[in-house]
Structure 1
Amino acid sequence: MTNIFKLLAAAGASLLATTAHAAVLTLTPGVLAAQPGQTAGWGFTLHNDDADNYLVITGTEFSLPPLSSFGSYVDLLGPRGLLVLAPQASLSEGYDALLGTGLGEFRLDAAARGRLDGEVRLHYLLSTVDPTSAAFDPDAHIVSFDASVSAQAAVQAVPEPASWALFGIGAVLALMVSRRRSA
């Protein structure tokens, strides 16, 4: 009976070691700023701090309130196919709309106002063998199918320059009226 408990404890420790893996995700920039109707995107750095397993990116998502009228998110990593980070490796990539690089992009609705706070979540799986190698067997080498890491993110709707001009004109007029009344 003692051997069964030892075997269960070893299996539990092995499972905890696998789930203790932590990838580190950093967004650049953390806050996107764009005018309503425009698209902006995040670059990123992802570090696989696992010393034994390969990290395979499977996709990203941005948390949005249900039926958000602020805009829509597009995952740029998932559709690109097999992106693999070796153990202890990092991947950095800037956002470029023309090349389709970066983590993801956000298209603000024409009526977007203010700021939307949330998080970007990157999904990945872990494998004991490089998935691009001929020796890879998904049934034998994948140790975690659905892991994820997230980073705080926000999208800021910036008023158009014409709107700023109107605010400026309004402020000047208010100041003139205020001075005229006090004189």
Structure 2
Amino acid sequence: MKKLLLQVLMAMLMPLTAHALPFTFTLSAVPAAGVVNGLPGQTVGWGYQLVNTDTSNWFVPTQLNATSFSLGSPDASYFDFPILAPGATANAVFDQILHTGLYGVQIFPFALPGQMDSGFFTLSGEWWSGDPLAGGIFLQTAAGVQVAATLEVGIAALPEPGSLLLLAPGVALLLARQRRRQEGSQFGLAAG
């Protein structure tokens, strides 16, 4: 009886050990180099491409962390934690209005042009035998994957004056000159 119970227990544990393979997923920051830049006070951020490279198991992201940013206030609420079927890909560009992407940072107003911050995003998750929302079985946690990130503070470009603003002083000068000529010729006629 003990031998039979041991065999049943081993048979039940066997599939779990077969799934203990190193499942893989990839995370890439968008833009590809992981470098974003913005002006003091502006909110900038990164998009992402997340790929489940496993051919039979589902990937469920569970945690996104970032190294600290000394040049701004970080905001991880952009990431939507997509559940990926085997071989599936999820993409999102950073969009402050639609609130999509990987991570956002509002650059401090006192940040100086040319300053930079570099660090990493780390995404961790879980592996499931099927869709976790439709009866899939949890297999194991996924080791975190890191992607490099760089934040640069840019220099505000001087606004180019519109052509009407450039033209207005010249037109005003010509009108003033024309008026002086007219006034001068009126006085010259009256005196003569």
TM-score (norm 2): 0.65
In structure 1, the gaps of 5 or more residues are 1-6, 163-183
How many Å separate the matches in 1 of 2:142 and 2:87?
A: 19
Measure the CA separation in 1 of the matches of 2:124 and 2:131.
Answer: 17
Residue of structure 2 equivalent to 1:127: 128
Q: Which amino acid aligns with 2:74?
A: Y
Residues 1:62 and 1:96: Cα distance change in structure 2 (over 3 Å): same
Mapped contact 1:22–1:149 kept (Cα < 8 A)? no
TM-score by length of 1: 0.68
8 Å contact from structure 2 (residues 82, 90) kept in 1: no
CA distance 1:129–1:11, change in 2 (3 Å): closer
Structure 2 runs not aligned, ≥5 long: 1-9, 159-192
Fraction of identical pairs, as percent? 26
Query: Structure 2: which amino acid aligns with 1:97?
Result: Q
Secondary structure, aligned partner of 1:83: coil
1:111 equivalenced with 2:93 (yes/no): no
Match of residue 48, structure 2, among 24, 37, 44: 44
Which residue, 125, 144, 150 being the options, matches 2:146? 150
Alignment of 1:22-171 (within 5 A): 22-29=24-31, 30-64=34-68, 69-76=70-77, 80=80, 83-113=82-112, 114-133=115-134, 135-136=135-136, 141-145=137-141, 147-161=143-157
Matches of 1:72 and 1:14, distance apart in 2: 44
* Aligned equivalents of 1:95, 1:43: Cα separation in 2: 4
Matched residue type, 1:36: P
1:20-46 deviation digits (Å, cap 9, x = unpaired) = 122111111110100111111111111
| Contact kept in structure 1, 2:57 and 2:128, CA below 8 Å | yes
Alpha-carbon RMSD across the aligned residues, in angstroms, is 2.6
Q: Distance in 1 between matches of 2:76 and 2:125?
A: 13
Distance 1:124 1:12, change over 3 A: closer
Give aligned pairs, total: 144
Name the amino acid aligned to 1:27. A
Assess, with a 3 A threshold, how the Cα gap between structure 1 residues 132 and 26 changes in structure 2: closer, same or farther.
same
After superposition, give the CA deviation of every residue in 1:44-96 in whole Å (9 maximum; x if it has no partner): 111001122111122322211xxx54112211355x4x621001111111111
Higher strand share: 1
Deviation at 1:146, TM superposition (A): 5.2
